[in-house]
Amino acid sequence: LSLTPIMDPLWRIIGLGRAKEVALTGRIYDAAEAERMGYVSKVFAEGELLSSVAQIAKDMAGYDRAALAETKRLSNVVLNQDLDTSMRTQEWLFRTYIGSADNHQRIDALQAQLASARKK
């Protein structure tokens, strides 16, 4: 039995040390520990999954669509790049979309909200 097919994608998600532990021990992890180690990105309370995911989707729907699409596409691309190329790609993404009109509107709205909260 070779662990290589199991290890390759797993170490990219949770790191090599943790991936070795998972593969070599076969230990079962509870949800909280899986979240802490990065194996899952979020754990929801029982019965709250659908409403929580709907809220995440609603929040994302308010973001710049081009930035979301490019982030999704490039997140898959950078997995196969060396570190230097990956960092340059991510820097380009940040610089390209941080200056978007949609992003400036969100920043302005947040600043107004914070200023209003300080006055209270």
**Residues of the chain with confidence (pLDDT) below 70:** 1-8
Is the CB of residue 71 less than 8 Å from the CB of residue 77? Answer: no
pLDDT for 47 equals 95
pLDDT for 15 equals 86
pLDDT for 93 equals 76
pLDDT for 48 equals 95
Q: What is the dihedral of CA 85, 63, 102, 90, to 10 degrees?
A: -10
pTM of the model: 0.54
